[in-house]
Amino acid sequence: MALVALDISARDMYCAIAGGFGVDASCRHSFYDDFSDLDAWDVAQGNWRIDKGQLCGGPGEGRTFKDLSADDYVISINSATLGQGNGYGVFFRATNTPRFNGYSFQYDPGYRGGAFIIRKWIKGREIWPPFAVARARGYDWWQTPRQIRLSVKGNTFAVDVDGQQVLRATDDTYAQGGIGLRTWDRTTVCFDDLSVDTIP
């Protein structure tokens, strides 16, 4: 009761103790998932499953979300491997799921010969054309584990793939919201270890 009054959650208490010993990675982040299960995710559509400690999706249109009441943050995916198909997406600042508003970064070999893009979503519809496109013809899109880092701060979004910035864009439409993952068409993809760190 006293902890509730002080706005201290059980997780905060646990992390205060576990963090002191450095034993739980989830305590270092606002959100962390090692994909031992799907419990943290709200699967809105598609074929999502846990496979050998990874979250795998596809084929077909798939969307899964994690609600966050946050505005500025960094999404880090330790490893994302596109097995086949036209690409995968990472949603950010998504609200009102599943008929959601928000953005997606897309690792998208299917877009005009291959590109990294960011697009807006309105009431569950993907807005065409994407407002940020970095074309990357000849990029090694498939079967290669990629480290993805997506920084969302104010109206500016920046994406690093394997430590190299591939895209930077601005948009003012949406100010806050959660994260998510997307597949479409023939895509199969697996993600390993995802974390979100809020930016003060």
Partner 1 sequence: MPLEDSPSLEEYTQGIPPQPTERSATRRWVWMAIGVFTLLVTVLGGVNLQHSTAFTFFAGTGTVVGRVVDEAGGPLQTYVFVLGTDLEAQTDANGRFVLNDVPTGSQVIVVAYLGIGREYPVAVNAGSTTDMEQIQFASTRGP
Residues contributing to the site for partner 1 (CB under 8 A): 112, 121-129, 133, 173
Nearest CB to partner 1, comparing residues 31 and 89: 89
The first and second tokens of residue 29, run together, are 């982040």
* Least distance (Å) between residue 89 CB and partner 1: 13
Nearest CB to partner 1, comparing residues 47 and 173: 173
Nearest CB to partner 1, comparing residues 72 and 126: 126
Nearest CB to partner 1, comparing residues 21 and 128: 128
Q: What is the DSSP letter of 138?
A: T
Strand order in the sheet with 88-95: 42-45, 62-66, 178-183, 88-95, 101-108, 115-122, 132-135
* Least distance (Å) between residue 61 CB and partner 1: 8
Question: Amino acid identity of 109?
Answer: P
Structural element, H or E, at residue 86: none
* Least distance (Å) between residue 91 CB and partner 1: 15
Neighbours of 189 (CB within 10 A): 25
* Least distance (Å) between residue 99 CB and partner 1: 11
